[in-house]
Amino acid sequence: MSSVTGTPSAIGLDRLCVIGVGLIGGSLARALKAAGACAEIVGCGRSVESLRRACDLGVIDRYHQEPAAAAAGADLVVVAVPLGAMRSIFSHLRPAVEAGTVITDAGSAKGSVVADARAAFGQVPPNFVPGHPIAGTERSGVEASFPELFRGRKVILTPLAETDYRATARVSAMWQATGAEVVEMGVAHHDQVLAATSHLPHLLAYSLVDTLAKLDDRAEIFRFAAGGFRDFSRIASSEPSMWRDICLANREPLLATLAEFNRDLGRLATALEQGDGGTLLAVFRHAKNARDNLYRG
């Protein structure tokens, strides 16, 4: 993994196309407008109502529902749609994107995105830079977008051997203009890291809330839920179909991480059954130290 530095003012975008003007795409558009980093932003999406709302809010300047029309003449195209829609969008872009147009995405699993790009374009285009902003909330839609979403957050780029370094530099400059810190890593490493730090926590949050919601006394359980439960379960309010796509797209790294977690959870269950307070205390202390060191300061 390596950090990427550059000059955000060197972004030089006359026209940006954002396909998927929701929380991520909308926040990117807002941030670039606030930074004065882009002359025109064209939106694209399935819902005319949402696109009109994005125009009314000043998030985008105009829109098209067809990806090819929206991307025409753009310097840079950002595909911020659910993972399940990536291949279709790439297929629509293939005959329309000009040779100098840079394409990037905001998908949470890079292996599947790269496979979709290769399938749609016939090969990974040199102007395609896979990317993933590590930012978000449990809310969705353009109304939930805000320009500070990426400030101080990390954006991971996973350029391939085929990727033109100039395309990577341009995408990096775009994200830096939002206040984000840009780092690079390999596709497989990204998917392993995100399986552990993002995808597994979401899977666990959904599972816990689902389990408790099926109990006979669920009303009492949720009524007396403390802050810890609210904090942990918050991400279970995220868009379900989006997280279904993410989990399936990154299923192999996620399954491996889940198997390791299940082994450790089984060890805790055994300790409880045997009244083994020493094991419980050792796990709790190790976890506390790790968490305290991770977020120290």
Position 210 scores a pLDDT of 93
Instruction: For the chain, list the domains and their CATH numbers.
Output: 2-185 (3.40.50.720), 190-294 (1.10.3660.10)
- Summarised one tens digit per residue, pLDDT across range 130-181 is 999 999 888 889 999 999 999 999 999 999 999 999 999 999 999 999 999 9
The 3-state DSSP class for residue 106 equals coil
Q: Please give the Cα distance from 138 to 133 (Å, whole number).
A: 15
Q: What is the pTM of this model?
A: 0.89
Q: Which class for 64: exposed (0-12), middle (13-18), buried (19 or more C-beta within 10 A)?
A: middle
Could you tell me if 26 and 47 are in contact, meaning their C-beta atoms sit under 8 angstroms apart?
no
Q: The dihedral of CA 271, 277, 279, 280: what is its sign?
A: positive
pLDDT confidence band for 194 (50 / 70 / 90):
very high
Q: Please give the Cα distance from 297 to 293 (Å, whole number).
A: 9
The 3 state secondary structure assigned to 2-40 is EEECCCHHHHCEEEEEEECCCHHHHHHHHHHHHHCCEEE
Q: What number is the average pLDDT over the span 212-223?
A: 77
Could you tell me if 187 and 18 are in contact, meaning their C-beta atoms sit under 8 angstroms apart?
no
Q: Specify the residue for token string 């998927």.
A: 20
Q: Which class for 257: exposed (0-12), middle (13-18), buried (19 or more C-beta within 10 A)?
A: buried
- Summarised one tens digit per residue, pLDDT across range 72-109 is 999 999 999 999 999 999 999 998 787 789 999 999 99
Name the E strands within the chain: 2-4, 13-19, 38-44, 62-64, 76-79, 102-105, 128-129, 131-133, 154-157, 181-184
What distance lies between CA 22 and its chain's CA centroid? 12
